[in-house]
A and B are shown apart, each in its own frame.
Chain A
């Protein structure tokens, strides 16, 4: 659409979309830093992830507020209305993703200076997957691309498989060495937080499909 045909709604929604992408970058960084703090046992970095979560909460409320103002002043309908409602759901899910990243950081602090139970292999894979899925689903939202959203939701199966593999491996270690249960549980918590991030991306993918097609359905049930 040429900018000369933009309605007031278009202009204001473009700003909201920009803030949404900015929030996406912040969440992406929180996920990346939580892994780094785990890999390096960096308590200061973990604390920074926890502190930065406040900023992400604030931007979520700012975007929600802008959406409410847009509904009240522009009375959007049809795909415009679906887009605004979708943004509200998306920021709630992204805010929860940041909470999961902060959850990993809190676990890092709880672990103290205990050495890692095992080298990290699948957890970094889960992090990379989560970051890719988040970036792609936000791009799919901007592009109004239901097919890509569906494909991203399908990738959540990969995330579930990685989590299952970690779960089984740690269970085996705990069975063999009961004195490792505490350290294994910490790693399991980290993996669980990442698995939940995958679920949150799936929720966002559902919203992208809803905006694009009007079809409201749950993916990966």
Chain B
């Protein structure tokens, strides 16, 4: 290996070790009415890494994910305690504009949810609403760039006016990712983004997640443990509203420290 490659890898490793988290969650509790769904979650999410959240159904992982861009604000009779920081700023501070926040922290859902519009309009929607540009050429460039980053450009470049609903489910999900990318987010939250997709489309999305992590910070909730093992740098196991263990993915899947992690990932729960 060339010397400069070794040097670059070493430097990158050092930077990774000392970098402060992109998001920092401190002592987070979340309540649905009087029911506590999350208990005292503290976690640091590193920039340009894929962080996977796993755990049995109802363990709180999706609730936690939705706390990260205040999606739970829309649910009545809920309450959050603790802090969620993005680049050191408390995202629950009254001065924070939630629309701006959700531009910085985008979300991709379980089922692809394109608008019943053309492929182009789906991707252009965010930049238009947010007024990112008024120039047609610039908008074209944003749409192309977003579709390229979502690995969909080659498939749709000649059909940008096609109704998005005519795309396959896998293409629709990549379109939804392109729609998120179009507003230049910093963090992308993904809530079981492949659970509605076939294995080929799933592998494409997983490859895309790895590629996107060179530019964006990704947090993904998944029921598929092998997916967490394949795509993530860090993995956290949630259990009954608690974060049981959070560590490098390789460690979680080969040498977990907690018995509950061992039981869950080896399928010996219950």
Residues of A within 8 A of B (CB): 1, 5, 7, 9, 75-82, 214
- Contact surface of B with A, Cβ cutoff 8 Å: 225-226, 229, 253-256, 261-262, 265-268
Chain A residue at minimal CB-CB distance from B229: A77
Please name all residues of chain A whose beta carbon is closer than 8 Å to the beta carbon of B266 when the two chains form the complex: 7, 9, 76-80
List the B residue with the shortest CB-CB distance to A1. B268
Note all chain B residues with C-beta closer than 8 A to A7. 266-268
A80 contact set on B, CB distance < 8 A: 266
Which residues of chain B are near A1, meaning CB under 8 Å? 268
Closest to B226 in A: A75
For the complex, give the distance between the alpha carbons of A9 and B265 in Å. Answer: 12
Kindly report which residue of chain B lies nearest to residue A5, judged by CB atoms: B268
- Point out which of B225, B229, B255, B262 has the most chain A C-beta atoms below 10 A from its C-beta: B255
Distance to closest chain B CB from A98 (angstroms)? 30
Docked complex Cα distance between A82 and B266 (Å): 12
Chain B residue at minimum C-beta to C-beta distance from A75: B226
What residues of A have a CB within 8 angstroms of the CB of B253 in the complex? 77-78, 81
Nearest B residue to A79, CB-CB = B262
**Top-5 shortest CB links A-B:** A214-B255, A77-B265, A77-B253, A78-B262, A80-B266
Q: How many A-B residue pairs have CB under 8 A?
A: 34
Query: How many Å from the CB of B102 to the closest CB on chain A?
Result: 35
Q: How far is the CA of A9 from the CA of B253 in the complex (A)?
A: 16
Residues on A with C-beta less than 8 A from B265 are 77-78
A-B contacts besides A7-B266, A77-B266, 17 pairs, CB < 8 Å: A1-B268, A7-B268, A9-B267, A75-B225, A75-B226, A75-B229, A77-B229, A77-B265, A78-B253, A78-B255, A78-B261, A78-B265, A79-B266, A80-B266, A81-B254, A82-B255, A214-B255
Shortest Cβ distance from B256 into A: residue: A78
* CA gap between A82 and B45 in the complex, in Å: 28
Closest to B269 in A: A5
A82 to B267, CA, bound (A): 15
List of A residues within 8 angstroms of B268 by Cβ = 1, 5, 7
* 25 A-B pairs whose Cβ atoms sit less than 8 Å apart in the complex: A1-B268, A5-B268, A7-B266, A7-B268, A9-B267, A75-B225, A75-B226, A76-B266, A77-B225, A77-B253, A77-B254, A77-B266, A78-B254, A78-B255, A78-B256, A78-B262, A78-B265, A79-B262, A79-B266, A80-B266, A81-B254, A82-B254, A82-B255, A214-B254, A214-B255
